Structure 1
Amino acid sequence: MSSPVQQSAHTRDDRNVPSDLWTARDAEAYDSPDDPMFSPELLERTTLFLAELAQGGRALEFAIGTGRVAVPLQSRGVEVSGIEYSPAMVEQLMKKTKTIPTAIGDMATTRVDGEFSLVYLVYNTIGNLYTQDAQVECFRNAARHLRPGGRFVVEVLVPQLRRLPPGQNAVPFDVSEQHLGFDTYDLVSQRAISHHYRRQSDGSYRYSPHNYRYVWPSELDLMARIAGFELEGRFGDWDRTPFSSESDSHISVWRLPES
C-alpha cells in the first residue's frame, strides 16, 4: 500500500487555490462529541447511504478532513481514499487510522491513482471553494476519478437568504455564552463569510472567519452537466426524505453515463 499521507504532484500552487487553509489549531478542535454532526445516529445513516451507492467499489472523499465520515464508512467494508487541503487535518486523521490513503491538495485539481465507484463531498464543503470556476472544476475532478456509471454525492445547505432582513447583509446563526456566529453575504458574487467569536477560558474571545461560496441546487445541476453527469436523485436528508422548497439542505446524487 502506498503511504497514507501523500503530496500530490497535481496540486496547484496554494496561492491560486480559492479556499481557506485550516490550521493546526482548527484541526485539533474540529472533532467535538457535542457537535451534532458527530452523532453516531447521523453517521450511521450517512455511511449506510454512501455504502449502498458504492456498490462494493472504491470510494473517494473530497475534503476528507479528520475522517468523520471516512473512518466509519471504511468500517462498513468500503475501501476509502481521500483528498484534503489541510495537512493539519490529515495529521488528525492519521491518529485514527493509517489505512485510508490521503493526498494533500485541493479537491478541484488534485488527482489520486485508480478508479472509483463513488466520490462524495459532505457537510457544505463544496462551498469551501469560493469561486464558481473552482466549484465547476471540482465536478470535473470528480468525473475524472469515476468509472462509467459511478456517482458523485454532495451534501450542502440550501442558501438561507430568506432569513436575510431587507437592507442587511448579516444573519446570526448562533448566539450563546460560548459562541457568537453570523454570516455576511455578497449577493452578487455569492461569496459569504461565517464569522465566529468563541469564548476562551480566560474570558476573552477568539475570532475566526470562514470564507465560502453558497450555491443553489439548480446551479449545481448545471455544473454537473458541464462535467458530464446526470442527476440521479436529490433528497432532504440521508434518510432519503423527499427534497422540497422547505428543505434546509440537500443530498444530491449525480451519475456518469455508462458509455
Structure 2
Amino acid sequence: MTNSDLWDEQAAQGYDRTSAEMFAPHVLTPTVEFLAQLAGTGPALEFAIGTGRVAIPLSAKGIPVSGIDLSQPMVDQLRRKVPLAEDLPVVVGDMATATVPGRFSLVYVVFNSIGNLRTQDEQVECFRNAARHLSPGGRFVVELWVPGIRRFPPGQSAVPFEVTDRHVGFDTYDMVTQQGTSHHYRRRDNGSASYGASNFRYIWPAECDLMARLAGLELERRVADWDGSPFTSDSEKHVSVWRKPFGRNLDADGDAVPLTSTDNSDDGAE
C-alpha cells in the first residue's frame, strides 16, 4: 500500500490550470527534447503520468509511450486528450510496484513526482521498478528539486518557493523524517482564496544515487535542468540519468542477475 496522496476528481480537473506554467513552451519543449533524445525510437514509460503533460508531446514525436499513475481521475483527464487507450496505454497503480508489459529504452518521472512516495522503502522500490522495466542499456530519468532547507535560519521550518499576487506557495520540512508538505494559497478571480496541500518525502541527489545502485543502475549524467546546464552546489533542482548496464537484468524481486543467451528481456526496444 502506497503512502502517496491521491489526486481526487476535483484536484484532477483543476490540475492543468493550476500547473499552467509547467505547460509553457519554454518549460515543456526542453523537457520533451531531452527525453526524446534518450528514448531514441522508444518505447518509453512515464511514472506518475498524470494528465499527459509530457507523455502526449513525447508521443507526438513518434515514440511509443506508456504510463503508470495512481489516480484514476488524473488518467480520466488524460483520456479527454487521448481517447484511445492503445494510443497511450496507462496502468492505474503505484509507480513503486505496478507493471506494464514489455521492456523500455526509457523510464522517467518528472516534476518532483518521485517525492510523492513518502517512505524510503517505496522510493527504493520505485528505482527497482524502473530497472525491471528497462532493457539493458536503457535509462531512468528523474527530475527533482534539491531540498531548500539550506535556506533556513535557526528555528525556521518553512521556505517559500513562489510568492505572486495569484499564488503563495511554501514548503514545510521535518529534517528528522525527511517529510515535507507543500502549501498553496491561490487567489480566485472573485477575490476569495483557496488552500491546498500535498505531502512528500524529500531526497538528496546522493541518496538517489544509492537507490539507483541498489537497483543495479549506474549514474550516467546529472544536470541542473532540461537545457543541460551544469549541476553545481547552487543548483535548486537536478535532472539525473541512470543507465541499466548491458549484461545485467533484474529478477522478480528486483535483484540483479546476469543475462543468459536465451534471455529476451530486451524484446520490443531498440
User: What's the TM-score once normalised by structure 2's chain length?
Assistant: 0.87
- Which residue number in structure 2 is paired with residue 12 of structure 1? none
Asked if residue 37 in structure 1 is aligned to residue 22 in structure 2, the reply is yes
Asked if residue 123 in structure 1 is aligned to residue 108 in structure 2, the reply is no
SS of residue in 2 equivalent to 1:32? helix
Q: Name the % identity.
A: 60
Provide the rounded CA distance (Å) in 2 between the counterparts of 1:236 and 1:94: 32
Provide the rounded CA distance (Å) in 2 between the counterparts of 1:63 and 1:177: 30
Q: What letter is aligned with 2:73?
A: A
2:162 corresponds, among 174, 177, 189, to: 174
1:65 corresponds, among 50, 54, 68, to: 50
Provide the rounded CA distance (Å) in 1 between the counterparts of 2:127 and 2:218: 12
CA-to-aligned-CA distance 1:4-53 (integer Å, 9 cap, x gap): xxxxxxxxxxxx21100011111111113973211123222111111111
Asked if residue 222 in structure 1 is aligned to residue 207 in structure 2, the reply is no
- Which residue number in structure 2 is paired with residue 94 of structure 1? 79
Q: Which runs of no fewer than 5 residues in structure 1 stay unpaired?
A: 1-15
Question: Is contact 2:148-2:159 (8 Å) kept?
Answer: no
Provide the rounded CA distance (Å) in 2 between the counterparts of 1:240 and 1:195: 30
Alignment CA distance shift 1:202-1:45 (3 Å): closer
Matches within 5 A, 1:116-195: 116-195=104-183
Provide the rounded CA distance (Å) in 2 between the counterparts of 1:33 and 1:132: 28
1:82 corresponds, among 44, 57, 67, to: 67
Alignment CA distance shift 1:73-1:175 (3 Å): same
Alignment CA distance shift 1:204-1:112 (3 Å): same
User: What's the TM-score once normalised by structure 1's chain length?
Assistant: 0.90
Q: Which runs of no fewer than 5 residues in structure 2 stay unpaired?
A: 248-270
SS of residue in 1 equivalent to 2:114? helix
Larger mean CA deviation between 213-222 and 195-204 belongs to: 195-204
Asked if residue 47 in structure 1 is aligned to residue 35 in structure 2, the reply is no
Alignment CA distance shift 1:245-1:89 (3 Å): same
Larger mean CA deviation between 82-91 and 176-185 belongs to: 176-185
Larger mean CA deviation between 100-109 and 51-60 belongs to: 51-60
SS of residue in 1 equivalent to 2:17? coil
1:202 Cα deviation (Å)? 4.7
Provide the rounded CA distance (Å) in 2 between the counterparts of 1:110 and 1:49: 25
